[in-house]
Structures are given as C-alpha cells and as structure tokens.
Amino acid sequence: MKISLVQAPRWSIHTPSYAIALLTGVLRGHGFTVFPKDFDVAFHRAVSAEDQRYWLDAHSDFWNDDAKVAKLIARYDAVVEDLVTDILRDQPDVVGFSVKAWSRAFSSALAQRLRRRAPQVRVIFGGPQCNVWAANTFLAEHPEVDALCRQEADLSFPRFLKAMETHGGTMQPEPGFAFRDAAGRVVDAGPLQDIPQPADIPFADYSDFDFSSYQNPRAITMLLSRGCINRCSFCTEAASFLRFRPYPAERVFAEIRHHAQRAGNRQPLHLFLNDSLLNGDIPQLERLADLLIAHRDEFQATWGGMMFIREQMTDDLIAKLAKAGLTNVLFGLESGSPAVLARMRKPFHLETAERVLASCRRHHLQVTVAVIFGHPGETEAEFHTSLNFLRANAHNVDQFLLSYLGLYGDCDIQRHPERYQVDPATVQQGAYWLGDGGQNTFAVRNGRVNLARLALGDKVGDNGGFFDGERPLYDPVQPYRERLARQARELEAVCALFRQSIRVRKFVTPRAGQTCGYFDNLQLEYGRWNAHGWARAPDGSAQPATGVLLVDSRDAVLAYVPVMQERPDVAAAFKEDKLTRTGWRHVFPPDSLPPGRHTLRAFAYDAASGEATRLAGEFST
C-alpha cells in the first residue's frame, strides 16, 4: 500500500514538518511505501511578496480565519492544483493530512480537490485538531474526508492501514479512529486502547526533505517526551497527547546523534524540541545534558524549547543545561498574579519564577515568556498585578509573547464552564466567550493585551494580531516600535486605567509605635528605577500586606505592587515565620514618571477598606 503524508500550508517555513517525518518513520518501519509532502515552503515561494507576509509571526491569526484562507487559495488556484497533481503523481492509495488549527482550512481545500480528481483515494485527517471535532458532525459536514485519527498514531495508524489491506481497501474499526463506512454511516471505534510508549516510537525520518529550502537549514525538530505533567485550565493538549511519558535520555541522545551524523555540512545542528515541556522529568533531562557534554567532541548541537517553572530548576542545573548546548527557553508563565495562577492550576510561586528567570539570564540563555490575559476571574487589579510583575522582571526576559485567552479544543474551562463563571452558551465561540457575569468580554481581554503591549514596549514579540476594534495596532511594514510615540495617548490611558482600578478611600499615617513596613531604597540601576521594601498587614496581624501602592508627591498612584518576595530578616526581627514573604519590589523606566523631580512614598493597601497606610521612608528621583 502506498501512502502520501501531507502537511498543508500553515504559517511555518522554519523547519520540515516533524509530524510528517515521524509518521514517515513509523509507516516505513511497517513496510509501507511513503511519500512525505511538506507544501508550506513550496506554496510560500509561489505567492507574491505581499502575500508572503502571512508567514510572519504577526499574522499567525490569519490561518485561523477560514474566509481569509479561502481567498488566498482562490488567488492561487493553479498553484493549489499543482500541489494536488504532486500528490497524485505517486498514485497513492491513502493520503494522510497532518492537521493543526492553522492548517485546517487549507487541508480541507486540498482534500476536496483530491476527492474530485481521484475519488478512489482514501483521505485521512490526523493531528491535534482532530481530537477537537465530534466525529459524527465533522464527517457529515466534510464528505472529502473518509476517516479521522483522533489521538497518537504511532500504533493505531499502521494497524488501521494493515486492516484495510487485509480487507481489500475497506476500513475496519481501530481504537483511536472514526470513519465513514460504505453505507455512509460513521463508525467510531473510541479512544486508544494502547498508549504508545517510547519504545514504540521510531526516529523521525527526514531523508526526503531538502533542508536548504527552509529558513533554518541547520535545524531539526524532535521530542524528549510525550504529554505534560500539568493540567492547566485552558490547555487542549492533555486530551490529545494523553499521559506524560518521558523518553529515556539514552534514547534521546541516540536520536540526536542519528540526525547529527546525517546533517553533514549542516552542523552544528540546532534542535527545536517541540515538547509540551522539556523539564517534565528532571533526572532524565540532567542525564541527557551529561551525555551531550561527554560527547561534544563527537558532534555539537544547540537546542531549546518550552519549560515549566519548577523549584527543581536550580542554578546548578541551569548552568549544566547551558553547558550542554541549551540556548533558548520558552516559559509558560501565563500570569504575574498569584490569584490568576491558582485559577489556571499553575503549581508554582512567582518568587520561583523570578529566581529561574534571573538564573537563565546569568547563564546567557535567550528567554521568552508566554503570557495570557483575561482568564476567567481575572480582575482589573489582578491584571495590573500581573503587568507589574512582568515589568519588574523584564530585564531578565528577551521577549514576551502576549495573548488573550481563547477557548479551543477540549480544555477544562470548556468542559466545566460553570466552575469558571463562563457562560456555557459562549464556550464554543473561541475568542468571543463571555465570563464573570458579563464583565469579561473579548473587548476587555483584547484591551488588556494591547495595554500590556504598550507598557512592555520593545520586549513584546509580534506573535498574532493586536487590534483596537477592527484597526490593527501592528503593521508588519511599519513595526509598532516606530509607532509608540504616536500612541502616547494610549499609553497614558494605561496609567489612567491603572489609577482608576485602585480606589483609595484615604491615606493613613501609622500610629506612634506602629510599624507596617519600610520603603527601603530607590536607586537607578541599568537605566531603570528599582524601588523595594517590605510591608505587613496594616491591621497589626502577623500577615504580609496584600499589596503596596507607590505614590508620588501629588498623591498620584504610580503602581500597585504585590507583596510576595522573601524577607527572612523581617520574619526574624518579629520572630514570626508568617512574615517571611513580606518583600516587594517595583522596577520601572524613568520616562514612566511625569517630567520633573518627584518624591516617592509607599503605602500598604487594603482593597477591602480602601485605606492605604504609610510605610516608613521616602526617596526623591
């Protein structure tokens, strides 16, 4: 049996498709004839320079809009027909499409043309997007598709194809698959019975790919693990990739060596590791680092990928990973508000995040931090708490990726909207869900992203669209960095909204002998003001204050700063362990203050009463 494996155009010309290369290795290992087709580069080359902008990071949202993708396909009808001809030239019995959210519309368009030109060819969709769809509904609405592979295909896909061969091309039930039978009825064989283990997963087969066609000809994509150790409220991956399974370090090293030996003059090789998280199994990760360090005279490889904020990410471990070739890390921080992190089910403390980011900076790693605004329950004050944390740690971050929360796939919020105060009638609306009694809307979420974008300036990566109504704030031809000066009024709106969200009923001076905390210091470091101190609850209890207001000499609130940093000296002075986390710190650029000299003071803030109690100490700029 001959199988074509197709990656439709989808905003990715950096490296060859890992999904196609992996399934090529899987099926060839079972004796099938396989023709891998990665059409992203070919289609990108065929379109005009103007339309090539849709492959820029800033236009990733384009590929999720079916109408826009349809117009692009219509403009290049002859090119798309040539892609179909390329598939049919090999006379395949089955054509499998790797379908992600970005390739969904283009995959359907190619499948429709295949159906018209070669109705005898079986078309199968697989990939992360297929787990989102209800099989009956999807197959009824898409007659161009014969079957869906809805979970990991390493074991199930070869079985499904072998059963077809045995039964003369007639599809048979296989767990993990749904298909339309000869009578047009949908047969759903249910979820996988056997979850692929590392021993079942071969090396990706990149032998058919011309690496010189891609933007990163020295790069290759692979995995260290399957699945994730976390179950975040908004994540869709858990349902698709099942439980977490780390690959043994020796197996990972063997695959890296395999690809390095075949890279020829493309060394040193760079590895894009597409795991949900690289550090799900710390001992295996450290063992891999040891192997790479021990064999660096044989070959050299640099690598990077996504990691999770974990206590086990010590400075010594990060130093070892850097020595082993780690160059770049993307952390899914998601929020700088402890309350929002708890709702997201992110099990880490922000002080751990601060320590890990600082350690990565010390060891010269390129750090990207992903942030989501507008999670259900995120209040205006929590938004500013999050933004303050991001600004305070921006000196240890190379790039922020900002987004609003959209609901896609089989995430926990979609399954249980009532737990999150999300309107159940809106959970299928993607970006336009409604929550928090109507207070959490797309406009609010999008506005927070835009405000954070302005506040964080050129640290923000241009990933996806940012809009003010229908007007884009980002234009690839004239990057937003050059437009910030003209958006001064919007930046002032950030500050105004900041102040409005903090309602101070009155400023209070502590009674004689009462100590709520200290404004310890204000100093200019690396071109930014660094204010820090400590604060306990104004009611005199042995608890840290919730937050501190930084106020100028005109009583204008400049910032709300969460109290969360460790101050063991304060706990020791008061002989009270509960006061360990009473530290606060706020880092801000000089131009965030109005012109002139300022005297800054700090106040412990009680949101319930609206009272702000003065901390000892003040400093002038």
- Across residues 302-323, what is the average pLDDT? 95
586 within a domain of the structure (yes/no):
yes
| Whole-number pLDDT of residue 381 | 86
Specify if 205 maps to a domain: no
Statement: residue 147 has pLDDT above 70: yes
Alpha-carbon distance values, 454 to 272, 422, 438, 457, 494 (Å): 30, 28, 26, 5, 8
The CA–CA distances, whole Å, from 108 to 61, 96, 129, 135 equal: 18, 12, 12, 15
With respect to residue 611, please indicate whether it lies within any of the assigned structural domains. yes
Q: For the ranges 141-155, 302-316, 581-595, which has the lowest average pLDDT? A: 581-595
- For residue 262, the enclosing domain spans 218-499
Amino acid letter, residue 573: A
pLDDT at 477: 38
Of 444, 464, 499, the last residue of a domain is 499
> How confident is the model at residue 497, as a pLDDT?
46
User: Is 225:241 a contact under the CB 8 Å cutoff?
Assistant: no
Position of tokens 């937003």?
Answer: 480
Q: Let me know whether 142 and 24 are in one domain.
A: yes
b/e 207-219 (16+ beta carbons within 10 angstroms → b): eebebeebeeebb
Q: Looking at per-residue confidence, does 475 or 449 come out higher? A: 449
Predicted pLDDT at 60 = 76
Tens of pLDDT along 56-84? 877 777 888 889 999 999 999 999 999 99
User: Based on the domain organization, do 493 and 514 belong to the same domain?
Assistant: no
Of 569, 558, 560, the C-alpha closest to 604 is 560
Residue 499 has pLDDT above 60, yes or no: no
514 and 445 fall within a common domain: no
pLDDT in tens, 385-419: 999 899 999 999 999 999 999 887 678 898 899 99
CB atoms within 10 A of CB 44: 18
pLDDT per residue over 440-455, tens digit each? 998 888 888 888 887 8
Same domain, 132 and 256: no
For 533-598, give the DSSP string: EEEB-TTS-SSB-SEEEEE-TT--EEEEEE--B--HHHHHHHT-GGGTT-EEEEEE-GGGSPSS--
> Three-state SS across 226-293?
ECCCCCCCCCCHHHHHCCCEECCHHHHHHHHHHHHHCCHHHCCEEEEECCCCCCCCHHHHHHHHHHHH
Q: Does residue 32 belong to any structural domain of this protein?
A: yes
> Residue 494: is its pLDDT beyond 80?
no
Predicted pLDDT at 462: 62
Please report whether residue 211 resides in a domain: no
Asked if residue 199 belongs to a domain, the reply is no
Mean pLDDT of 490-502: 48
Q: How long a stretch of residues is the chain?
A: 621
On whether both 518 and 493 belong to a single domain, the answer is no
Model confidence at 128, pLDDT cuts 50, 70, 90, reads confident
CATH of the domain at 435: 3.80.30.20
In this structure, the answer to whether residues 274 and 158 fall within a common structural domain is no
277 plus 408 within the same structural domain: yes
Domain CATH number, residue 604: 2.60.40.10
Confidence label for 529 from pLDDT (cuts 50, 70 and 90) = confident
- Identify the pLDDT of residue 401: 92
Residue 469 has pLDDT above 50, yes or no: no
Segment 159-185 mean pLDDT: 94
417, part of any domain: yes
Q: What pLDDT, on the 0 to 100 scale, is given for residue 31? A: 95
pLDDT of residue 561: 82
Over residues 329-355, the mean pLDDT reads: 94
Is 223 found in the same domain as 96? no
Same domain for 224 and 182: no
What pLDDT score does 239 carry?
A: 62
Top-confidence residue, 371 or 477: 371
Model confidence over 279-296: pLDDT tens digits? 999 999 999 999 999 998
Residue 200 lies in a domain: no
465 and 562, same domain (yes or no): no
138 & 253 share domain: no
Residues 38 and 141 placed together within one structural domain of the fold: yes
How many domains are there within the chain?
Answer: 3
Query: What type of residue is 245?
Result: R
Q: pLDDT at position 530, please?
A: 85
User: 621 and 598 in contact (C-beta within 8 Å)?
Assistant: yes
Instruction: Answer whether residue 476 shows pLDDT above 50.
Output: no
pLDDT in tens, 598-621: 899 999 988 777 788 999 999 988
What CATH number has the domain bearing residue 30? Answer: 3.40.50.280
Please say which residue of 445, 480, 499 terminates a domain: 499
Last residue of a domain, one of 470, 499, 528: 499
Question: What value does the CA radius of gyration of the chain take, rounded to a whole number of Å?
Answer: 27
